[in-house]
Amino acid sequence: MQLFITVLACVLAAANAESSVCCSYGDSRVVMAQWDAVFTASNGGKVTTGYALFSRLFELAPGAKDLFSRVNVGDMRSPQFSAQMVRVMTGLDLALNALADQPLLESLTGHMAAQHAARPGVTVDGFRMMEQSIMEIMPQLIDNFNPDAWSNCLHGVIDGISNGLS
């Protein structure tokens, strides 16, 4: 039944969008398993991954640092920035682990979208840069990285979190 609902949701999404990607049940399982291996790694997975993702984001979009000035981004190892990075990574963890539960995922990403809409300067383009950062860093951290599954699933998460931004 879950597979039928996922396929139906993909068909409906494709019918309603010019360029649609669909996170299938199989894709979601791959992404959740691969993410879990990275996020829970004994070498400080969430912190190590967070530093890698944010470092790449700031290489791609140096101006993005301005959005984190209140959390001491000038020193990415500071307690303030580390705490912010862990909050972001935890939000990403929640969203990725909800991929197989569409109502939960929509609730989570809707809540995150509202939080980001209240922050001046946060844009859809900024989230696209974070998506690019994730897609570039994850293959370095994940054995047998599945770029199709990640692209299909991550794009929907990013769309949900950036919903309502310009």
* Residue 155 marked as a ligand binder: no
Alpha helices in the chain (DSSP H): 2-16, 25-39, 45-60, 79-96, 102-117, 124-141, 147-161
Compute how many other C-beta atoms are within 10 angstroms of the C-beta atom of residue 139.
13
Structure tokens of 53?
A: 């993702």
Q: Are 162 and 57 in contact (CB under 8 A)?
A: no
Annotated binding site: 116
- Binding-site members for heme b are 116
